Amino acid sequence: MSDTSKIEIRGLRKSFGSNEVLKNISLDVAKGGVVALIGPSGSGKSTLLRCINLLVVPDGGSVRVGDTRFAFGEGTKLVDVKTLAKFRATTGMVFQHFNLFPHMTTLQNVMEGPVTVRRMAKADAEKLARAQLAKVGLAEKADQYPATLSGGQKQRVAIARALAMEPDVMLFDEATSALDPELVGEVLSVIQQLASEGMTMVIVTHEIAFAREVADRLIFMRDGVVVEEGPARQVIDNPREAATRAFLSHFHRIGALPPANAIP
Q: Which residues contribute to the site for other proteins (CB under 8 A)?
A: 53, 55, 81-82, 85-93, 95, 97, 99-103, 112-113, 116-118, 158, 161-162, 165
Nearer to other proteins, 55 or 139 (CB): 55
Q: How far is the CB of 22 from other proteins (least distance, A)?
A: 18
Q: How far is the CB of 86 from other proteins (least distance, A)?
A: 7
Give the whole-angstrom CA distance, residue 83 versus residue 152: 33
Q: How far is the CB of 165 from other proteins (least distance, A)?
A: 6
Q: How far is the CB of 258 from other proteins (least distance, A)?
A: 34
Q: How far is the CB of 32 from other proteins (least distance, A)?
A: 21
Cβ-contact 7, 200 below 8 angstroms: yes
Nearer to other proteins, 164 or 208 (CB): 164
Nearer to other proteins, 107 or 236 (CB): 107
| Residue of 74, 61, 38 whose CA lies nearest to 218 | 38
Nearer to other proteins, 131 or 178 (CB): 178
Measured between alpha carbons, how far is residue 4 from residues 29, 66, 69 in Å?
A: 9, 10, 15
| Residue of 96, 113, 23 whose CA lies nearest to 59 | 23
Nearer to other proteins, 94 or 236 (CB): 94
Nearer to other proteins, 1 or 82 (CB): 82
Q: How far is the CB of 34 from other proteins (least distance, A)?
A: 19
Cβ-contact 146, 106 below 8 angstroms: yes
